Structure 1
């Protein structure tokens, strides 16, 4: 493997932006901003989620192997290299200018029109997160519905914004309300991450809307934060957890914890 040049402090994709916050060495922030509500289309998934993940993984593996070149001066912008080779983590969030939507699910019209969408586009997205070799944190700074809820669940950790009144975030699988069956790939993610079968049934058959407080009480998210702090706290958690990636087996171990329930993704 040849030497790899690290990503610049800001890398722009068609519908997302990947940054390296200077105060959090080794932690990437992927901000999703596909207007109006981060619908999971084939273009969005491939160009602006999967492509950044591949770029992150390339840098991580180069760092782990000691093959990461020193960052060029003009692209460093104060970002510090990881404290230890391979010490990386990833945080994702919705558009921070509004903090209204994390991800509002699929573009159902497109998804149903493409025969290959679920097997070759959506399921590989969830699989990528479930197997990703570094810790992942979803900074849920807005609503997460249906496929977007599953995207958050596919991360290792979740921090949700806690606004009790205006601007509060909720999460739900609402397919039963608009007459769409829930694909097996989504069910597999829910079963892998929900604490009980009873809660899975409530989620899928009742389209129950989980508030931030309820999500924390049920163990669906790991902590809550005010809207103004949800991303920063997620970055801090990423920094705290990033040490787990330094031995190169983090992704392998976490796959073993969900493989029986996520076999439909293979």
Structure 2
């Protein structure tokens, strides 16, 4: 389950179980309803700590995105489920502290988009891909998700990523403007903490106001309810 850990330099929010390769109840850190609640709780604690936030995980996955099992068995609830995911994106986009996503492993679909919500992004080398597999899976993007990718990556990257489902390793993700740095696995978390330390003086409520102004059109798209006719 997601959890919060306080470090001298950062408030760290982990998207999966502590110190495990797999959480047997959610091994890929998918967006289950319980997971969404737990991430929001961890973010509550992180914001209260008054430090920059590092968003990361342990093991093979950063997060594999949507809970496809839930969608398959609760298809009528899909619009509301997606609205909840959009609200998580909105929250991360408007945190009142600097945010750094440290991608420890695979970030696919909704998980790849969650990484884009952070102010700064770094990604480990050797293992893990960032990818939007929707085209390959015959799945559409919501209005909010399309706006998120379009505004948080260069146009050529958004076009390639959304239309081809390309998998980007760390070096390719840097070249494409998806992340800012590729970092050796052993140094990933420490680099995230270093970035947090460099931005510690920026923590204040005004930062959230600035972020809302900077990202207002995107936030409006994410706050638009998903229509039942999406699929």
TM-score in terms of structure 1 length? 0.75
- Does 2:17 correspond to 1:31? no
By how many angstroms is 1:262 displaced? 3.3
- Does 2:31 correspond to 1:40? yes
| Cα gap change, 1:109 to 1:181, in 2 (>3 Å) | farther
Counterpart of 2:169 in structure 1 is 211
Counterpart of 1:170 in structure 2 is 129
TM-score in terms of structure 2 length? 0.86
By how many angstroms is 1:58 displaced? 3.7
Residue 145 (structure 2) aligned to one of 186, 189, 194:
186
- Does 2:216 correspond to 1:253? no
- After superposition, give the CA deviation of every residue in 1:215-243 in whole Å (9 maximum; x if it has no partner): 11222111111011111110110111121
Aligned residue-pair number: 211
CA RMSD of aligned residues (A): 1.6
Larger Rg: 1
Counterpart of 2:227 in structure 1 is none
Which residues in structure 2 correspond to 1:37-116 (within 5 Å)?
Answer: 37-46=28-37, 48-60=38-50, 88-95=51-58, 98=59, 100-111=60-71, 113=74, 114=77, 115-116=79-80
Counterpart of 1:118 in structure 2 is 82
Is this contact kept in 1: 2:3–2:15, CA < 8 A? yes
By how many angstroms is 1:54 displaced? 2.1
Which residues in structure 2 correspond to 1:108-147 (within 5 Å)?
Answer: 108-111=68-71, 113=74, 114=77, 115-119=79-83, 121-147=84-110
Counterpart of 1:68 in structure 2 is none
Counterpart of 1:239 in structure 2 is 197
Consecutive unaligned residues in structure 2, runs of 5 or more: 17-22, 224-231
Consecutive unaligned residues in structure 1, runs of 5 or more: 1-14, 61-87
Alpha-carbon distance in structure 1 between the residues aligned to 2:213 and 2:195: 23
Moved more, 230-239 or 210-219: 210-219
Q: Which runs of 4+ in 1 moved over 3 A?
A: none
By how many angstroms is 1:44 displaced? 0.3
